[in-house]
Structure 1
Amino acid sequence: MPRNLRPAPLALAVLLALPAFAFAQAEPPEADDHDHAHEATRTLETLEVTASPLRGSIEDLARPVDVLSGEALDARKAGTLGETLERQAGVQSSYFGAGVGRPILRGQDGARVQVLSSGTSAMDVSTVSADHAVGIEPFLADQIEVLKGPATLLYGSGAIGGAVNVVDGRVPTAQVGRTVSGRAEIRHGSVDDQSTGMARVDADAGVLTLHADLFRRDAGDYRIPGYAFSPGLVAGELAEGEDPEHFARGRLPNSELTTEGGALGASWFGERSWFGMAASTYRSNYGIPPGAHAHGDEEEAPEGDAHEGEEEDVVRIDLRQDRFEARGGVREVGLFEEVNWRVTRSLYEHTELEGDAIGTRFDNDGLEARVEAVQRERNGWRGAFGLQFGHRDFSAVGDEAFVPPSVTRDLGVFALQEKDFGDFKLEFGARHDRVRTDPEGSAPTASVGATSLAAGGLWRFSEAVHLGVNLNRAERAPTAEELFSDGPHVATQSYELGDASLDKEVALSGELGLHLHHGRFDGSVSVFRTQFTDFIYLADTGGEIDALPARAWVQGDATFSGWEAELGVELADNASGLWHLRLFADAVDAKLDDGGHLPRIAPGRVGADLDWSLGAWRARVGVVRVSEQDEVAVMETPTEGYTLVDAGVAYHWDVGGAGWEAFLEGRNLGDQEARAHTSYLKDFAPLPGRNVMAGLRVAF
């Protein structure tokens, strides 16, 4: 998509033009929007989880799953997937400046959390380095599904810590049911002068269903409450005689970004079969805040320096990903209720620009194919069988190419079974993967088999209370980065050393969850524990190479344990409106069994959201308190706690068959200095300050 193509004005045109066409095609709604919104609030638990081939509702699954959709998704949409999900219990964001934010599930991230686009791997290089963005646009999501705990049964060893599935409908899986439908949105934010626009249209044309979408986001350097440096770094610089006037303050340098993309898709639907295809593109150009790409040979400046006016070239990422998807299915095939398949090809290119020069270029040519067969129910047993193949041709070229080129192939086979025994439901699953990584050069080929087993139970001992139990044994094959790294990795400010002899990780995990649904109350509480054998992590060696701290990928036993809780209460539904209160809290602890904590583990949090609606109006106010994190790894510094307050108000009106909504949202309204402990940049890049966003959206 050309850089001069601007979907924000196009989205405005869609806001004004497409609904007018829809009016002539659609029947008037049967109920007003307040009725629809109220009903959606009461029936959220019936949402279908598409990440599983059995596609059950949240309440029918023993495994812990969250689904963010509807008004709740509209209220939380942000420029990155991690920021969009970070108010969900058990989910935080890695945060590497405004352009990068990968979800962290229960303290685990990177190569242990699989990010999916409608059930297919993102196939980017976001697991290779913390400064690499996920190539998925949250504003296009119909819903986002979060699978907590091991999801290896469904998606292989790269999901040993969980999975996040963004459902975008680019390949239509069902007909719209009307001639045309769609949505569009424009918004502007104050903290970075950001303008965002998106538009989507789905239309039925006989047996064909067509899809089109596009989006664009432009943002400048974002405002911060104080210095870019943390107080500790500021004090250290002042002690060395630095002039505080040289420190970046008020705005975070080199944090501007431009992101754009779009897709075209179509599906054909017959009586017993269907077939669809889509082509999409995602492009992003974003800056890396100073401190992330400090070079070891720059002796004049302290490592991680973020002084204004430095002569060193700023670093920007120019990312492009093109995806081509084909998928389809057939119903009633022999012993199977349905058989579905999908094939995705991804062409990914990621260039790190140092001023006008190309520093390092990453390329990832990926192919993924998957077949799922859902069996007919037999003696009460329901289940599915699947086969998945993946091929990844990865290369990195440049002065900072710390990982050699490699080709990774994986083949996995899996089976799921479940059955109800009165009020008790049993779930079983097994999967085996063979992962082979061939590096370029003299390093030996790594071939690993990974087997995962799971058992779960759901006891509905009353209509109001359900008890879920899950036991998992999961294995993860080492990645090419962990096996073969040998070079300066500027994002982590270290010289990374891989180990080709690394063994696979083995995780034994258990979880106990209690779910409450009674009248005005809806809540859950879970406790979990995962014992890792041969956990792979990056450890300080105490030495230096090329003036950078030397860090090596090593293995050791580790334990993750924690809990999360959420409670929703309908406070009132009367003449004053519908009032709903949501409370949530979570905490996780991660330790090496031989002593010491693991780095960048998310601190505990507690939060509350109060929602109100009356007629055409709705509003909300929320607060989250993030605790300090002083249980830190060797060479890691503690992080202070902070409190964030946000709020929003929206007004809805209908014109013909379209629903319009004007909204005003505020985030970090207290303009607090907040630093994410999960971020490599916590000492150089605080979170954005006060942000007020205004916008208009339409759905038809």
Structure 2
Amino acid sequence: MKKLFVWFILLAGLAGAQRLPELLLITGTVLDAGSGRPIQSAVIEITGRNIFTTTNDKGFFSITPDTSFFRIKVTHVGYNQAYKEIDLSVKEDKEVVVYLTPKIIEISPVIVTDQHSHTVLEEINIDLGTLKGRELEKKLGITLGETLKNETGLAMRSMGPAPARPVIRGLGGDRVYFTEDGIKTSDLSATSPDHAVTIEPFSVERIEVIRGPKVLLNTPTTLGGVINVVRHDIPVNLHNNIFGSAGIYGETANSGLLGALNLQVPYHNLVFNGGYSRRDAADINSAKGVMVNSYARNQTWFGGVSYVFNNGYIGYGFRNFELVYGVPGGFVGAHPKGVDIDIRRDQYSVKGGMTFGPGFFEGIDFHAARSFYRHIESEKNGLTGSEFRIIDYTGQVQIHHEAGWIFGRGTLGIDVEARDFDIGGFVFSSPSTSFNLGISLFEPFTLGNAVFEAGVRYSYDVINPKEKKFSRKIGSIRERNFGNFSASLSGLYPVNEYFNVGFNLSKSSRVPTIEELFSEGPHLAAYSYEVGNPDLDSEGGYGAEVFAYARNGVFSYYGAAFIYDFYNYILPRNTGETNYQTFLPVYASSGVPVQLKGFEAQVEFVPGPDWRFRLNASYTNGEFSNDSRPMPQIPPLKGEFEAVYHYDIFEFGADAEYALSQERTDNFETPTAGYLVFGLFGHVHFATGKYFHSLALNLDNIFNTEYRNHLSRVKVILPEAGFNVRLIYKVFFDF
């Protein structure tokens, strides 16, 4: 993945001058970072001074500052904006060269300053854990799970196309924590395979998969990860012009069609942001026929406004997400015609940040949010089987500091969450409230040539059922209190200029969910009779990982081996029993010791400017420690191969998604065969005046291969999607 970088070279001026000479002229050129071509109509602004200019057809500009210390912002509709602070009293140059990265390569604004440089650990996280630009458009699917399923170390849990959710190294549920612009996504997707993630991936700028010590700023679960979706509903930067984008997405396997529009309007120091998208998808076609009741209809809209000032911003945002989808039926324990689920989430957010400049206290970021979530599961005759409602309040403050000496830019975080969980329909779990307080610290530091990141977190949780009672099925339903400490340490040592080795050590914890504690009845769409355990202790375990990372101009490699030992791993497990009132299989929650171990690797070969080859592989082996039996829902060895050819503004390629068979299964779990699925893709991006266009065409499963995802709860009915054509078009504009 290419990176945004900005290189300012100031070549002539008055050395040692303490004041700005009158009418000092700053000149420069703005170039495309990929091709080196000049960029016409880029806007150069001296921020806060109302001084502007634009580049000519050769990318050249000149501008006259009225102060010796100023900040330049360079923007263009088709490129990422860039910032640079210039102090002419200490710098000698006055000629500037600016390289901008096209939005189609990295669709996100990046601020570049002299006060922070990326370590190799951060480079690895960005290289392997960020999906953006061309890669994002190529892999864009109907859900976040579909979009991320072939990333290194990731897989997809599903129960039909709509309720798909990412899994990291065999770990799912609450061990994978979702945020949007750093704010927790409040839904029930972690609690059951039939529950969808309330994130529409089409309009995102980038997707970050965060692992290691930094996850402790959000969650105590270090064995898993954080998936952060970046879209800046609340704007953080001030644009000079009205800026927007529009797009369509279509695919043939489900006759799906999506349309989206986003718009940002600046007014003095205010930025208004808004957008709308709608998706309609019919039942999906597989190689063996139509998967009945696998449709999905979704619409989302959002609005936000920010007040942006020289060293920060503060803003308010609202996002609505509505989704109606089907869960397929037609197998033992399922409803013959399936179940329909109707979801709505409304989120109101306040967010801001401020930088203080060099010093111990560098800056502060904060947010507060209120979310309303409603979830209704219905049979085909209209009868409501399950209903859930959540009102969630979250808040977080992060204080960034630079301690000096061996330490880099660290963060002290405090976050709180209060949740009100109500239940209706034929669900007999106890409605409950919960409260969480977390205090976290993240510190990067260096010792000689070695680079380290350390994180610690203490979390205190209270889960309080609204009706305290003794249940003959599960025991005493009562208030539970939990206190947990988590920690993580990563280190990396550069063996030479190109090769690095590293490690990670982690202690992880997780509070049991309300469902794991207090469930006692049928779950309609999950086709299960769920039994909780109010005596569960916190989940906990230790992890160790070693990895190697190498990169030069032609070759890059990342490989890791890991082992996770959980002394108390909470999971709902098929007991083999049937509840004969509902004829549903009984799933009971329990805490047991388990061990997961495996590896992941990614190799990239770039023999020249036109070709790129990439191969990744991921494998996890999970088993119960007491009897060495396989854990349920563990993905097999899987990965993807990709070959890409670049020619001018075009990109063409082929890929192959593969998996070995999974014969290591838990009791009452179905094994799956291996598969090899081929695809083709093409992409072009170009500018017409003030419009920047991106067009991607993907041909998936070109041989209409029959294959089944081991983590799919409905794999016994029909396989995954057959031959599919996906078309994605986006246009960016400003005026």
Same fold (TM over 0.5): yes
Worse-matched range after superposition: 329-338 or 451-460: 329-338
Work out whether 1:623 is the aligned partner of 2:656.
yes
Once the two structures are aligned, what percentage of the paired residues are identical? 27
Q: Any idea what SS the aligned residue of 1:481 has? A: helix
Q: Would the aligned equivalents of 1:665 and 1:694 in 2 still touch at CA under 8 Å?
A: yes
- 2:354 corresponds in structure 1 to 330
Cα distance in 1 for partners of 2:327, 2:378 equals 10
Work out whether 1:391 is the aligned partner of 2:418.
yes
Q: How far apart are residue 42 of structure 1 and its match?
A: 14
Amino acid at match of 1:68: L
Q: How far apart are residue 651 of structure 1 and its match?
A: 3.1
- 2:94 corresponds in structure 1 to none
- 2:371 corresponds in structure 1 to 346
Distance 1:60 1:219, change over 3 A: closer
Q: Would the aligned equivalents of 2:253 and 2:284 in 1 still touch at CA under 8 Å?
A: yes
Q: Would the aligned equivalents of 2:107 and 2:133 in 1 still touch at CA under 8 Å?
A: no
Distance 1:604 1:33, change over 3 A: farther
Q: Would the aligned equivalents of 2:138 and 2:696 in 1 still touch at CA under 8 Å?
A: no
**Deviation string, structure 1 residues 419-446 (Cα, Å, up to 9, x no partner):** 1233211222211000111112221111
Cα distance in 1 for partners of 2:577, 2:312 equals 61
Q: Any idea what SS the aligned residue of 1:278 has? A: strand
Work out whether 1:572 is the aligned partner of 2:572.
no
Q: Any idea what SS the aligned residue of 2:234 has? A: coil
Cα distance in 2 for partners of 1:34, 1:169 equals 17
Q: What does 1:262-661 align with in structure 2 at a 5 Å threshold?
A: 262-291=301-330, 302-304=332-334, 314-332=338-356, 335-355=360-380, 356-382=382-408, 383-399=410-426, 401-441=427-467, 442=469, 443-545=477-579, 546=581, 547-573=583-609, 578-595=610-627, 596-661=629-694
Cα distance in 1 for partners of 2:509, 2:135 equals 34
Cα distance in 2 for partners of 1:474, 1:411 equals 17
Worse-matched range after superposition: 86-95 or 656-665: 656-665
Worse-matched range after superposition: 180-189 or 344-353: 180-189
Cα distance in 2 for partners of 1:331, 1:520 equals 38
Q: Any idea what SS the aligned residue of 1:508 has? A: strand
Q: How far apart are residue 170 of structure 1 and its match?
A: 0.5
- 1:247 corresponds in structure 2 to none
- 1:233 corresponds in structure 2 to none
- 1:299 corresponds in structure 2 to none
Q: How far apart are residue 607 of structure 1 and its match?
A: 2.0
Q: Any idea what SS the aligned residue of 1:677 has? A: coil
- 1:211 corresponds in structure 2 to 273
Which residue, out of 86, 98, 101, partners 2:161? 98
Cα distance in 2 for partners of 1:556, 1:49 equals 46
Q: Any idea what SS the aligned residue of 1:188 has? A: strand
Cα distance in 2 for partners of 1:508, 1:80 equals 31
Q: How far apart are residue 376 of structure 1 and its match?
A: 2.8
Distance 1:581 1:42, change over 3 A: farther
Q: How far apart are residue 540 of structure 1 and its match?
A: 3.5
Q: Any idea what SS the aligned residue of 2:607 has? A: strand
Q: Would the aligned equivalents of 1:114 and 1:159 in 2 still touch at CA under 8 Å?
A: no
Work out whether 1:118 is the aligned partner of 2:181.
yes
Amino acid at match of 1:612: Y
- 1:309 corresponds in structure 2 to none
Cα distance in 2 for partners of 1:45, 1:424 equals 32
Runs of 4 or more above 4 Å deviation: 25-50, 54-59, 61-65, 149-152
Q: Any idea what SS the aligned residue of 1:352 has? A: strand
The normalised TM-score by structure 1 is 0.85
Cα distance in 1 for partners of 2:604, 2:105 equals 13
Alignment RMSD, CA only? Answer: 3.0
Q: How far apart are residue 202 of structure 1 and its match?
A: 2.5
Amino acid at match of 2:481: S
Distance 1:587 1:251, change over 3 A: same
Q: Would the aligned equivalents of 2:77 and 2:691 in 1 still touch at CA under 8 Å?
A: no
Distance 1:28 1:601, change over 3 A: farther
Distance 1:58 1:686, change over 3 A: farther
Cα distance in 2 for partners of 1:414, 1:49 equals 25
Q: Would the aligned equivalents of 1:386 and 1:414 in 2 still touch at CA under 8 Å?
A: yes
Q: How far apart are residue 506 of structure 1 and its match?
A: 1.4
Q: Would the aligned equivalents of 2:247 and 2:728 in 1 still touch at CA under 8 Å?
A: yes
Cα distance in 2 for partners of 1:42, 1:268 equals 27
Q: Any idea what SS the aligned residue of 2:348 has? A: strand
Q: Would the aligned equivalents of 1:532 and 1:557 in 2 still touch at CA under 8 Å?
A: yes
- Structure scoring higher RCO (CA < 8 A, sep ≥ 6) equals 1
Amino acid at match of 1:418: P
Distance 1:661 1:151, change over 3 A: closer
Work out whether 1:171 is the aligned partner of 2:198.
no
Work out whether 1:148 is the aligned partner of 2:208.
no
Distance 1:695 1:74, change over 3 A: closer
Runs (5+) with no aligned partner, structure 2: 1-40, 44-52, 60-75, 81-98, 470-476
Cα distance in 2 for partners of 1:662, 1:325 equals 33
Cα distance in 2 for partners of 1:392, 1:562 equals 36
Amino acid at match of 1:304: A
Q: Would the aligned equivalents of 1:455 and 1:471 in 2 still touch at CA under 8 Å?
A: yes
Q: How far apart are residue 96 of structure 1 and its match?
A: 1.7
Cα distance in 1 for partners of 2:102, 2:730 equals 18
Q: Would the aligned equivalents of 1:62 and 1:427 in 2 still touch at CA under 8 Å?
A: no
Cα distance in 2 for partners of 1:251, 1:624 equals 22
- 2:11 corresponds in structure 1 to none
Amino acid at match of 1:216: R
Cα distance in 2 for partners of 1:579, 1:123 equals 42
Q: Would the aligned equivalents of 1:289 and 1:685 in 2 still touch at CA under 8 Å?
A: no
Q: Any idea what SS the aligned residue of 1:71 has? A: helix
Distance 1:597 1:150, change over 3 A: farther
Q: Would the aligned equivalents of 1:402 and 1:489 in 2 still touch at CA under 8 Å?
A: no
Cα distance in 2 for partners of 1:663, 1:61 equals 27
> Higher Cα Rg: structure 1 or 2?
2
- 1:67 corresponds in structure 2 to 130
Q: How far apart are residue 481 of structure 1 and its match?
A: 1.0
Distance 1:175 1:106, change over 3 A: same
Q: How far apart are residue 520 of structure 1 and its match?
A: 1.0
Cα distance in 2 for partners of 1:629, 1:536 equals 23
Q: Would the aligned equivalents of 1:565 and 1:585 in 2 still touch at CA under 8 Å?
A: yes
Q: How far apart are residue 160 of structure 1 and its match?
A: 4.1
Cα distance in 1 for partners of 2:560, 2:111 equals 19
Worse-matched range after superposition: 369-378 or 350-359: 350-359
Cα distance in 2 for partners of 1:404, 1:657 equals 57
**Deviation string, structure 1 residues 529-562 (Cα, Å, up to 9, x no partner):** 1100111122333433233332321121111111
Q: Would the aligned equivalents of 1:315 and 1:352 in 2 still touch at CA under 8 Å?
A: yes
Q: How far apart are residue 166 of structure 1 and its match?
A: 0.6
Work out whether 1:261 is the aligned partner of 2:323.
no
Q: How far apart are residue 41 of structure 1 and its match?
A: 12
Amino acid at match of 1:319: I
